[in-house]
Amino acid sequence: MNMVTKARFGLSGIQLAVHVGTGSQKAGGALLEIHSPIDGELVAAMNMAQAKDVPAVIDAAKYAFRSWRLVPAPVRGEFVRRIGEKARVRKADLAEILSNEVGKTTQEALGEIQEFIDVCDFAVGLSRQLHGLTIASERPAHRMMEQWHPLGAIGVITAFNFPVAVWAWNAMLAFVCGDTVIWKPSEKAPLCALACQKLVNDVIAEFDVVNIKGLALSSVIVGMADVGEALCSSPEVPLVSATGSTGMGIAVAQTVAKRLGRSLLELGGNNAMIVAPTADLEMAMRAIVFAAVGTAGQRCTTLRRLIVHRSQHDALVEKLKKVYSNLPVGDPRVPGNLVGPLIDKAAFDSMQDALTQAKAEGGKVFAGERVEKGVPAKGYYVRPALVEISAKAKIVQHETFAPILYVMTYDTLDEAIDMQNGVPQGLSSAIFTSDVREAELFMSPAGSDCGIANVNIGTSGAEIGGAFGGEKQTGGGRESGSDAWKNYMRRTTNTINYSQELPLAQGVQFNV
């Protein structure tokens, strides 16, 4: 029930002043001001929801679930198809909001909206493939099968850096699975959420296959941690999918586990790439730069550690320094600029703190300073940093959400794999090699311990078709493609007896 009270920038007709959820009260929480990271200007202000507003939103989503779960899955797919159609038509508008709100380059913002469109397509196909198994029964004239049923009103908590794509990975799958969705976006990126909600609301209003008018299939609650906490602690919310820092994920996991709910976590990454002796350096260099400085280092898949074979180290570092010196840093809406601003001052400060610590631990820091010339005033623009450092340095164990690339050397692949795996996080990883044995070893059980292990491409920019997520402190969840849909459903095992006897399993005799 957040009302945008002010909104700047040409939203080309996406009306942001939407009521969210189904309640009629205006949110009465603190005023949230959204300043664009591009130039620090105030772009919108709205009152936030509070924890006490959450139960009404959950009730509405639960009420909607009772009908939505009975709509045939392919019809739910048609609903998602129409969302995807609207997203196609409004791609440029959505990308504009995204770029203004979180500071992504226009190209990357368009890419994120494309990810939304792609996952809609994926979910439409899925709506006819929510398959269960049939299982051979040990008893005569018995049949066993599994069915997947809708789960309920689920919570989706998203981070500022991929506010649209990550919601879409969850929500589009959840919709075809028959769930309803309560979305708590980052308070740093509520406008994207409101724009997406508007799009979904339009599809609901126009839907003519079954009547879903007025149903809260999708709700957005803009608020602070108390709102997330209320969502996580409610036994009415069977699943909470959360993306963000490891600290936030631990809090979510503990709150949800206390009531034995399910959580699906996609948390911090500390992604590494191994550059082997046979790597194509030119290709590796392009992959490294996109992965390390794209989105100003603010992806969970951002390349943070480069593990280079000693024979390649000097040539590669020299190439990288040249490229880093000339990276076009500036207004992300200006074509050609590749590095936009950091999200806010706190992000800038934590980058500087990490660089100070790296120096204290013997790291050789190249660049990383604030850029103030030729960029909009008040934005926190930086020149991405390269840091030559030992893998043993403590700072290397941390994910700093900024463009810092730690560079280390190795001699044997086993040593490189140990370095790659030797951090608490386990999201994405890559190797550049032309040696098939090295590539296979890297992907084998003795290789990378991450959820994503790539060969001859970077760590970021995953396609939606694969399951996305990682191990260890990354939280273990898988979203988006493959069989991630199973997270959003509950499984029932059915045993059906079509005989006139009542044999017991395991041959147990129990003669009544």
Residue 300 catalytic? Answer: yes
For the chain, first and last CA: distance in Å?
60
- Which pair of structure tokens corresponds to residue 71? 């709509």
Which of 96, 101, 115, 266 is flagged as catalytic? 266
Interaction site with ligand UN1 (CB under 6 A)? 115, 161-162, 165-166, 243, 299-301, 460-462
Phi, psi angles (nearest 5°) of residue 490: -115, 145
Residue 232 catalytic? Answer: no
C-alpha–C-alpha distance, residues 29 and 187, integer Å: 13
In angstroms, what is the minimal distance from the CB of 301 to ligand UN1?
4
DSSP one-letter code for 235:
T
Nearer to ligand UN1, 266 or 438 (CB): 266
In angstroms, what is the minimal distance from the CB of 259 to ligand UN1?
26
CB proximity list for 326: less than 8 A, separation 6 or greater: none
In angstroms, what is the minimal distance from the CB of 183 to ligand UN1?
15
Task: Please give the sequence-ordered ranges of beta strands (E in DSSP) within 222-375, or none if there are none.
Answer: 239-243, 262-266, 271-275, 303-309, 364-366, 370-371
In angstroms, what is the minimal distance from the CB of 188 to ligand UN1?
14
CB proximity list for 278: less than 8 A, separation 6 or greater: 433, 434, 435, 438
Which of 177, 232, 300, 450 is flagged as catalytic? 300
In angstroms, what is the minimal distance from the CB of 327 to ligand UN1?
19
Nearer to ligand UN1, 50 or 245 (CB): 245
Nearer to ligand UN1, 2 or 271 (CB): 271
**Helical residues (DSSP H) of 302-412, grouped into ranges:** 310-325, 345-360
Q: How far is CA 489 from the centre of its chain?
A: 20
Q: Which amino acid would we find at residue 139?
A: R
Nearer to ligand UN1, 414 or 463 (CB): 463
Burial of 267 (0-12, 13-18, 19+ CB in 10 A): buried
Q: How far is CA 401 from the centre of its chain?
A: 14
- Which pair of structure tokens corresponds to residue 254? 């503990």
Yes or no: say if 174 and 181 are a contact pair by the CB < 8 Å rule. Answer: yes
DSSP one-letter code for 113:
H
Yes or no: say if 27 and 53 are a contact pair by the CB < 8 Å rule. Answer: yes
In angstroms, what is the minimal distance from the CB of 471 to ligand UN1?
16
Nearer to ligand UN1, 252 or 300 (CB): 300
Nearer to ligand UN1, 127 or 271 (CB): 271
Q: Which residues pair with 47 in a beta bridge?
A: 31
Nearer to ligand UN1, 180 or 460 (CB): 460
Nearer to ligand UN1, 161 or 409 (CB): 161
SS3 130: coil
C-alpha closest to that of 452 among 470, 434, 472:
470
In angstroms, what is the minimal distance from the CB of 149 to ligand UN1?
29
In angstroms, what is the minimal distance from the CB of 136 to ligand UN1?
40
Give the DSSP H/E element, type plus range, for residue 279: none
- Which pair of structure tokens corresponds to residue 414? 């086993």
- Which pair of structure tokens corresponds to residue 186? 């980052």
Per-residue CA distances from 498 to 130, 137, 138, 501, 503 (Å): 26, 12, 13, 9, 12
Nearer to ligand UN1, 68 or 290 (CB): 290
In angstroms, what is the minimal distance from the CB of 235 to ligand UN1?
28
Please report, to the nearest 10 degrees, the dihedral formed by the alpha carbons of residues 232, 238, 242, 245 taken in order. 50
Q: Which residues pair with 6 in a beta bridge?
A: 45
C-alpha–C-alpha distance, residues 403 and 367, integer Å: 10
C-alpha–C-alpha distance, residues 37 and 60, integer Å: 34
**Which residues belong to the active site?**
266, 300
